[in-house]
Amino acid sequence: MIPHNKIEEIMNAANIESVIGDYVRLKKRGVNLLGNCPFHGEKTPSFTVSPVKGIYKCFGCGKAGNVVNFIMEHDSLGYVQALKFLADKFNIEWPKQEQVNIDEEKKQQSERESLQILNNWSAEYFENILWNDTDGQTIGLGYFEERGFRHDIIKKFHLGYSKDSWNAYFDEAIKNQYNTEVLLSSGLVKQSEDGKKYDAYRGRVIFPIHGSNGKVIAFAGRFLKKDPKSPKYVNSPETILYHKSNELYGLYFAKNIIKQKDSVYLVEGYTDVISMHQAGVENVVASSGTSLTENQTKLIKRFTDNVTVLYDGDAAGIKASLRGIDMLLEQGLNVKVVLFPDGEDPDSYSIKVGSESFASYLKESSKDFILFKLHLLLGDTKGDPVKKAAVVRDIVESIVKIPDVFKRAAFIKECSQLLEIDEQLLISEANKSRRNFVKQQEKDWIEKEPHTQAEEALTYEQAINATFQEIDGYHQEKDIVRLLLKYGNNKIENYMNAAHFILHELHQDEIEIEHNNIHLFIDEYKRQLEVQSDLNDTFFIQHQNTDISTLTADVLGSQLTTSPHWGRKFDYVVEAPEVNYIEDIASSLRRIKQKYLDKKLQQTLKNIQEASDEETNDLYQHVYQILLEQKTKLALETGTVVQRWFGTKA
């Protein structure tokens, strides 16, 4: 196990604003921070981070936790691996091996963690071959130097080389005790029909692909020989770590600069990204040679609203990619375009003109995407009215995808002038297209979240059961956690802590906590209460049991509410107003007791229905009446329960 003091050291050093800020663009809102949730798609920010409490809470999907919970959830890591990640990030010495139960940790390693360990080692292996092997230096390093890449840039992106051998990598991996099944699933090793294993990336320069957390999640290998039978690039397959449509090459190296400059350049390939870094332009990412995907556009949106797409001079390629750019508009992003001279791309042009001229060209040549698209398509009409009409519809289709009504109006006005078409006609066409677009979005949403009338229709019996569904009581039990965290140290009548009173009431009325995470929390709270009278939130926020820490963050995060004027210029996240804590405790305890009585009533009704004889039936009927009287009495105590419980005068 990891020593508690080491966990505490890591948690105290791991600034939650800094950690989450690497994944989400956060903006100040009062004492808290607000951004788009990384766990579900949203256009209106509802993801709140409290630096003071050290927690996050999404009011959209409900996810909450501390800084370790965030890394575990976002990167799908185990508790120990998430702590190790934070220790590395904040330069905290990891405990010696004998302090950590390595065997137990290995036993609990998931497929994801095993693959991550292999990728980390593989990246180091390929990089070592590039710099220290004769073939690596001559062929691999020679290729990068021929491309004009400086050594510091090659090292920055951890570029490597795989020897032109059938099994050099495989043999070394086996020698280092890596599992054959993991090697095959990674795509780094393949198996022939006769069962022989061989290196998939042999004779290629290697581009490690980093996730947004800096971990190597995949590889791309470029073949250096001219062989029509071999593809130019070999890429990692889809794995538990890597989903190509969800990743942007270079994001890890660019994200802080993107946030700083509030803009990003979008290019096509790996070498484009690397060349631009060498030219001093670091806020750049690549779609890795694929058409832009919806998830990639959402990833960009997390860090900036301003995107500049860089195109080479290939008109056919530009037209093929226009639909993908519309996805950027749908996310509400401001999209510009830079077109390079014929035969040039970001890689070749940056080397050709040098860093200063390249940076100047990017600024001076950028054009708004809608207007760029209009001029591009109009060039093919050559006075043909039918083709021009098609261009008008195409441009309108792009404009209607823009969420901001004022931006849409501005583009329609400008396009009407350039196209020499009546503005009202364009507005009418845009309104019709916008309605169709919104309907299609709704249809797509329904298809993604399938539900039928048959599923929604309830029989009478199901309706009765649904009435009792509330009896589940999770929210009532969860509210006890809120009371303990918020008022536990408060005094009641100057003689006892509220925590002791709350726990005593639960025990006296034989309230059984049924939900495991709440049961764990209350048990831990009781244990801590035996050794110290005053308990603080931090202990539970940083608790090693993630069920406890997540529940704590969820409850504390729920006390952050949004301004009633949400969405206006000066809105901010505020703390929920304080209430009379004695009345709050009384009210919450009353609710959980009512729910508990409801559950007992439900069970007694079931016993009556299943009674095998009249005597048993009468007994349960009697119990039912007693429970009903108790519930009625409790309901009538709304105005008197505070005086009864706390001895205050009416």
Cβ(389)–Cβ(399) under 8 Å?
A: no
Q: Is the pLDDT of residue 326 over 50?
A: yes
Short-list 265, 256, 259, CA closest to 359: 265
Query: For a pLDDT cut of 90, what percent of the chain falls above it?
Result: 34
Q: Got the DSSP string for 49-92?
A: EETTTTEEEETTT--EE-HHHHHHHHHT--HHHHHHHHHHHTT-
Question: Which whole number is the average pLDDT over 453-465?
Answer: 39
Tens digits of residue pLDDT in 293-320: 888 998 898 899 999 999 886 666 677 7
Roughly what angle, to the nearest 10 degrees, separates helices 474-487 and 516-531?
20
Q: Is the pLDDT of residue 501 over 90?
A: no
In DSSP terms, 447 is beta-bridged to: none
Question: Which whole number is the average pLDDT over 76-80?
Answer: 82
Q: How sure is the predictor about 646, in pLDDT bands with cuts at 50, 70 and 90?
A: very low
What per-residue confidence (pLDDT) applies to 429? 87
Question: Which whole number is the average pLDDT over 366-393?
Answer: 87
* H/E run at residue 120: helix 111-132
Highest average pLDDT, of 228-237, 454-463, 464-473, comes from 228-237
What per-residue confidence (pLDDT) applies to 154? 97
Q: How sure is the predictor about 325, in pLDDT bands with cuts at 50, 70 and 90?
A: confident
Q: Got the DSSP string for 161-192?
A: EE-SSSSHHHHHHHHTT--HHHHHHHTSEEE-
Higher pLDDT, 201 or 544: 201
Q: Got the DSSP string for 334-401?
A: EEEEEEPPTT--HHHHHHHH-HHHHHHHHHHT-EEHHHHHHHHHHTTTTT-HHHHHHHHHHHHHHHTT
Q: How sure is the predictor about 636, in pLDDT bands with cuts at 50, 70 and 90?
A: low
Question: Which whole number is the average pLDDT over 172-199?
Answer: 94
Tens digits of residue pLDDT in 123-132: 999 999 999 9
Tens digits of residue pLDDT in 98-120: 455 544 444 445 788 889 999 99
Determine the 3-state secondary structure of 277 from DSSP.
Answer: helix
Q: Is the pLDDT of residue 173 over 90?
A: yes
- In angstroms, the Cα distances linking 63 to 67, 348, 480 are 13, 45, 19
DSSP 249: B
Question: Which whole number is the average pLDDT over 379-404?
Answer: 86
Tens digits of residue pLDDT in 213-227: 889 999 999 998 877
What per-residue confidence (pLDDT) applies to 131? 97
Higher pLDDT, 623 or 454: 623
Q: Is the pLDDT of residue 511 over 50?
A: yes
Question: Which whole number is the average pLDDT over 162-191?
Answer: 95
Tens digits of residue pLDDT in 423-446: 898 888 888 888 888 777 766 665
Query: For a pLDDT cut of 70, what percent of the chain falls above it?
Result: 85
Question: Which whole number is the average pLDDT over 626-633?
Answer: 76
d(C-alpha 600, C-alpha 606), whole Å = 10
Cβ(46)–Cβ(37) under 8 Å?
A: yes
Tens digits of residue pLDDT in 554-608: 988 877 654 444 444 434 444 555 557 787 888 888 888 888 788 778 888 888 8
Tell me the two tokens of residue 240.
């538990």
d(C-alpha 555, C-alpha 479), whole Å = 8
What per-residue confidence (pLDDT) applies to 284? 97
Tell me the two tokens of residue 184.
């095959």
Tens digits of residue pLDDT in 16-55: 999 999 888 898 888 899 998 988 877 778 899 999 889 9
Query: Could you tell me if residue 383 is left (phi over 0), alpha (psi between -120 and 50 degrees) or otherwise beta?
Result: left
Higher pLDDT, 646 or 520: 520
Question: Which whole number is the average pLDDT over 256-276?
Answer: 93
Average pLDDT, the chain: 83
Question: Which whole number is the average pLDDT over 384-404?
Answer: 89
Question: Which whole number is the average pLDDT over 370-385?
Answer: 84
Question: Which whole number is the average pLDDT over 362-368?
Answer: 92
What per-residue confidence (pLDDT) applies to 102? 46
What per-residue confidence (pLDDT) applies to 444? 67
What per-residue confidence (pLDDT) applies to 470? 41
Q: Is the pLDDT of residue 144 over 60?
A: yes
d(C-alpha 401, C-alpha 384), whole Å = 27
Cβ(139)–Cβ(146) under 8 Å?
A: no
Rounded to the nearest 10°, the torsion over CA 256, 257, 258, 259 is: 60
d(C-alpha 540, C-alpha 400), whole Å = 48
The whole model's pTM is what? 0.71
Short-list 41, 86, 32, 80, CA closest to 60: 41
Cβ(11)–Cβ(53) under 8 Å?
A: no
Q: How sure is the predictor about 133, in pLDDT bands with cuts at 50, 70 and 90?
A: very high
